[in-house]
Amino acid sequence: MPPNFKVAATYKKKDGTFIVGEDKKNAFWTPKGDATPTVTIRATEITNLQQTPETAKAIALKIIVGDESYVFTFGQRPDQEKTTEKVKELIALYKVKDGPATAAAGTPAAGTPAEGSGGEGQSAAMAIAKAVASKAADEGWYDDNRLKGDTMLQRTLLESNQALKERFNQALKDKPESVSISQFTNQFWSARVHLLRAQAIENAQKQGEYNVLPEIRYVRKVAEKPGEEDILLLNITKEQVRLIFKQYPIVKWAYDESAGSRTGQISQNDFWTRFFKSRLLKKLKGERISQHDERDLLLDKYLDRPEEGAAYPTPHIPHWMDLEGNEQNHSQRKGNRPDEDMRPSGHDKAPILRVLNNLSEKMMAHIAPEDSEAHAPIGMDEDTYEQLRLRDLAMDDVDNRVVLNVREQQRYAGGSQDDLSAEAKLYAKQDPKKVLSLLRSSLQPNNLGADEQGTLRLDRAIGYQTDDDSDDEDEESTHQSNGTAPKKKAKLGSHAAISVASKDIMESIRQRRHAQSSDPTALHGLSQATFDTLTMTHNTTTEFLHYFWSLFLSGDASKSNELAQLVSTLDRSLDRINAVAAQAEAERQKLIEAAKREDKLHLERTKKRRGTNYEMAFGGGRKVVEAMVRPTVQALDRATTAYRKAFEEQTKEANAAGATMAAA
């Protein structure tokens, strides 16, 4: 069989070649000078991969197959990395081919689980393969093109976001005919890739396991006839049954022996009814069993029966953090004795703690390691170990302080007069008392601008003139270099300058107050229907503006016809805005006419006239609509103006080129 991948590798201090078969099902190691492989590894039997860190001198890859392991050493790091990737591809390929069949076989029906499942999770090989296969899917979250091309993801996002769905449908309805649906959707989702990415991550989330027994309770059904007792009903789903068998294998054992398809001593309903009243349930929930609890000969025999096998072997624990080892090695034989919860004891002492610890361990063991590399070493890495190591007990601790070397200390201490600047030397010659005296005298009212009584006048201090006739004198003329009329520049402190500054400041204050205090969803006198129509018109106009600028700035001459139709669409958007404004004004005038009729009736009835200011009393109308969409209208005007200007320039260039060719 010709090899698919071949690299030099050493196994048990013997040189050879590591080969991946063309069928991508097996890996071989052949000694140097021999044509027969001495090591054969099947991809379906690989349970784990380990490789040496980059900082290690040895370059090795450890392939674990069941209880056996094979360590291959390489001469260069790239060879080891390529081999690791090839083995990962074998596992991923096995996952893709046999994944559905394995999943179907390993998912028994709830209530009647398959024989031999024993509540076990997926094998380590399948967990590794799942992690390898899911890595590419995770990277798809960061691929913008893949997100924009996923129609199912886009449909899911639109169904979950009603406002976005309405915006998409309205923009699709008003799009130009020259724009295809694919072009429109690509442009629409290009500005919302972050929403697609968030939706993809949300769809990938899966609910973890939970402690299922406390969630199952009896439901009391009220008796239909008076005098009858209420009925207790037990509601349990197939998913809950599957979790019970997975978290508590002893229940699966009892179910197979008493209500299974082979034995059939009792029915399934009778089994669950007796189980939720038995002592076995109290033991599994961590509750204390008393002598008053009801006995069940069928289920009580499982109280002291241990679980089959060691499903979760104890990993290697360093001696310095081994609590049981501390109890044995302590000189005074105290160890964990002061802590009651940490003493080795039977199930009767603190059963709830033991049950919760075991259940937590089971649920964590059933989680596939999708958040880590499949070929990462087992246990903590070197960086974590270095952080947890008791460094204060080490005798050869390295001093890692940062040494600060300061040069020319006298320069920064300020002791050298030669390093002073000329300005600093000038200030050093001045007398501080004279400087302070001069400063105080310059701040006196008579020097700044005081009246006859000696009171400081701010208008005189800043040179403000109240006489309007002096404005023309205060204005300075600035001549333009292009020959246009000179522009008058207000003198600083003049009446005109103060008025302009006051106007600008008050306008900024009003805009800031309006931006911070107003509700963006407030109707401002508009009806809800008119406001919704205006919002939808604004959203679709914004979409077309985005599409226009992307085409206009691309410089693609083939998009000229499409760009022309898009400009006409922008003109129609302006017409729709004007139509909404006319509708709002009609509604406002209708309300004003109704108020006038009511005031007229009030005048005829009471002979008293109401002083109603209709312009101030009724909001909404055309002015409110124009104020809301003023930035959008300005953006439309800028876009159409830029297009027409560019079109005129290109037309002139084309005519000039045609005239030149005709003259030639």
Domain ranges of the chain: 3-131, 149-204, 211-309+329-370, 470-517, 528-663
pLDDT 10s digits, 468-497: 555 455 455 554 444 555 555 666 666 777
For residue 162, the SS3 value is: helix
AA letter at 8: A
Q: Say what percent of the chain tops pLDDT 70.
A: 70
Which range is least confidently modeled, 167-181, 213-227, 483-497, 590-604? Answer: 483-497
Hey, which of 314-318, 329-333, 334-338, 374-378 has the most confident mean pLDDT? 314-318
CATH topology of domain 3-131: PH-domain like (2.30.29)
Rounded to two decimals, the pTM is 0.43
Q: For residue 641, is pLDDT > 70? A: yes
SS3 497: helix
pLDDT at 103: 35
Percent of the chain with pLDDT over 90: 3
The pLDDT of residue 120 is above 60: no
502-554 pLDDT, tens digit each = 888 998 888 787 666 556 557 778 888 888 888 889 988 988 898 888 888 88
How many CB atoms lie under 10 A from the CB of residue 73? 16
Asked if pLDDT for residue 401 goes beyond 70, the answer is: yes
How confident is the model over 276-328, as pLDDT tens digits? Answer: 888 888 888 888 888 888 888 888 888 887 765 444 455 566 666 666 666 65
Q: Diameter of the chain by CA atoms?
A: 122
User: What per-residue confidence (pLDDT) applies to 346?
Assistant: 55
Query: What is the structure's pLDDT at 106?
Result: 37
Mean of the per-residue pLDDT values for the chain? 75
Token pair belonging to 42: 């099947």
Taking the C-alpha atoms of residue 614 and residue 292, their distance in angstroms, rounded to an integer, is 83
Question: Looking at residue 323, what is its pLDDT?
Answer: 67
CA angle 39, 40, 44 (to 5 degrees): 145
Confidence of residue 261 (pLDDT cuts 50, 70, 90): low
**What is the arithmetic mean of pLDDT over 630-637?**
91
Please tell me the predicted confidence (pLDDT) of residue 638.
92
Distances (CA, A) of 153 to 194, 204, 319, 400: 13, 11, 51, 52
Alpha helices in 453-559 (DSSP H): 458-461, 471-474, 495-517, 528-552
Residue 77 in tokens: 């790091």
Residue 3, strand partner residues: 21
Residue 338 confidence (pLDDT) = 56
Q: Which residues pair with 494 in a beta bridge?
A: none
What average pLDDT score do residues 170-193 get?
Answer: 83
In terms of C-beta density within 10 A (0-12 exposed, 13-18 middle, 19 or more buried), how is residue 184 classed?
A: middle
Q: How confident is the model at residue 633 (pLDDT cuts 50, 70, 90)?
A: very high
Which of 69-78, 105-114, 580-589 is the least confident region? Answer: 105-114
Which whole number is the average pLDDT over 233-241?
A: 85
The alpha carbon dihedral of 55, 60, 63, 69 has a sign of: negative
- The 3-class secondary structure across 214-281, one letter per residue, is HHCCEEEECCCCCCCCCEEEECCCHHHHHHHHHHCHHHHHHHHHHCCCCCCCCCHHHHHHHHCCCHHH
Beta-carbon neighbour count of residue 415 at 10 Å?
9
CA dist 71 and 286 (Å) reads 45
Neighbours of 555 (CB within 10 A): 7
| Least confidently predicted of 90-94, 247-251, 522-526 | 90-94
Please say whether the beta carbons of 178 and 565 come within 8 A.
yes
User: Is the pLDDT higher at 228 or at 464?
Assistant: 228
409 or 562, higher pLDDT: 562
Given a cut of 60, is residue 652 above it in pLDDT? yes
Angle between helices 162-174 and 181-190 (to 10 degrees): 140
**From the CB of residue 633, how many other CB atoms can be counted at a distance below 10 Å?**
16
**110 pLDDT above the threshold of 50:** no
